[in-house]
Every structure is written in structure tokens, then in C-alpha cells.
Amino acid sequence: MTARAVAQKIAGPLGQPVVVENRPGANGGIGMQAVARSKPDGHTLVVGTVSTTVVPPLISKNISYDLFKEFTPVATMANTPLLLTVANDSPLRSVGDLVAAAKKAPKTLTYGQGAGLYRIAMEALNHAAGIDLLAVPFTGPAQAATELLAGRLTVNPDALGAAGPMLQAKRMRALAVLGSSRTPSLPDVPTMQEAGFKDFAFNGWLGVLAPTGTPQAVIERLHAEIAKAVQTPEVQALYTGLGMESTVLSPKAYGDEMKKDMARYQAVAKQAGIQPE
């Protein structure tokens, strides 16, 4: 949805149609690889997330591309607040309740592993709290959310935009925000840091990357048009509805952010004992 909204806005200024093609699979690896192998002329781009860019090398041995050698950052488009959710009828009312329940019944409570970043965040919680929530892998966040609502998962990390409709419908509740600050959309939901987990901060983002070798002038033009598109009322309204926060970083700042995230999450993965599989 976000990619299509921006694509519609940049097509006119660029003087050509911008087609958005879904390439699911392998934690985003199929789409990433397709763009890495494409001609670096600015005509083939990829929308990346934390879970499809910096996290895969930390959890998988079978990565067919090198993020920092084969891609050039163009621009970020949005930040995506992440939540720890439960079904509305869950007896758990706080992160403290979850930790207490997990300690009372070790290795019986579960979480949905619908994206790479979610696994890193939840294993960081396991390590910090001294508990052992069991990961249940899914092909994507939507499947994990469905299992949570069906009562087959204890908790589920998810993006605010994805969980929002279920929260509004009173089918889900949010125990905490996984980032470092509360989100305006859910002002009463505390952060994990407020729940007692110092330095716990996991945020999602969306950004555009091009194949390495794309001319700098093309990168700059694409960045400028994406930045304009993100600030239009229509895209802003979409982001608000999805619980996203518009953020446009320069190509250099975006690259620096990815490197910083990879270093931080690599340390988290090592601390939590996560090995590439």
C-alpha cells in the first residue's frame, strides 16, 4: 500500500509509469535478489524493511545478496511502530503478567515469528527477562495475527498498521510498544522500557534501495521525488491510517541507519544466542 501510494505520486514528475510488483518469499530475499541482479539504471528499485535488509544475515545462512555491496540507499519513507499484542480475551494485562506467567510455566507460552525483526525483539525479551517464550514460525505477520486471534499463540509482535484494525475492533490488545517512545495512536500503551526493560528499542522502517552502480544523479532525483511524494496530503493520510510516521532520510543517512541497526541487532542476536540457520 505504501509503495503504491508513493509510486502514483512520482510517476508524473518522472514522466513514466511506476509499476509495483510483489515478490514475496524468503523473508523478502526473492525481491531483494531480483533488484540486486537488475541493471543499475534507476528503473528497478526495491522497498526494504528492517526484516528484509539488516536482519536476514543475522538469522539465515542462505542469503544470496550483500546488502552493503549490492544496494545503494535512496530514501526512507516511514517509520512503523511495533507492538506486543495479545488477543482481547487474554488474561495477560501487562508485560509483567507475561513474564510472571512464562516463569510459572516455562517453555509453554508462545509468540508468533512472522518477520525477522520480530524474532530478534522477542529473543531479546527472553534474554532480558530470563524466560523462554517459544517461537512459532510463520510465512508472514498476517498468519501470526490470525493464529493469535484463534487462541493458538500467547503473544504476537506486530506493526501498529497491521494490528490497528483489530485493536480498534477490540479483538486485540497491546501490552507494550517495542520502540523507545509511546506512539500517539495509542497514548496509553507503555513502552518496554517503561515496563522495566532498559534500552529495549525495536522500530520498523520502510525505505527504497537501488542496485549498486546506479548513477548518483539518478539516486538524487529519485530521492527528491520520493521526499515530495511522502509529504503530499494523500500519502500523509494513508500513513496516519496505517499508524505509520513519515520519515525521509537522505541516501547517506539511510545507509548509516542500516549500518547502525545491523550492528545493534547483531549484538542483540549474539547476546540472545541466535545463530544463523
Instruction: Give the three-class secondary structure for 208.
Output: strand
Alpha-carbon span 23 to 129, nearest angstrom? 37
71: phi then psi, degrees, rounded to nearest 5: -130, 150
Burial of 44 (0-12, 13-18, 19+ CB in 10 A): middle
The C-alpha angle with vertex 61 and arms to 263 and 272, in degrees rounded to 5, equals 50
Residue-range domains of the chain with CATH: 2-80+203-272 (3.40.190.150), 82-177 (3.40.190.10)
Q: Quick one: cell of 141?
A: 505477520
List the pLDDT tens digit at each of the 277 positions of the chain.
Answer: 888 999 999 999 999 999 999 887 777 788 899 999 999 999 999 999 888 899 888 888 888 889 999 999 999 999 888 999 999 999 999 999 999 999 999 999 999 988 888 989 999 999 999 999 999 988 788 899 999 999 999 999 999 888 888 999 999 999 999 988 898 888 999 999 999 998 898 988 999 999 999 999 999 999 999 999 999 999 999 888 887 888 899 999 999 999 999 998 898 888 878 877 7
In 3D space, the residue among 155, 98, 127 whose CA is nearest the CA of residue 269 turns out to be 127
Helix (H) or strand (E) holding 48: strand 46-49
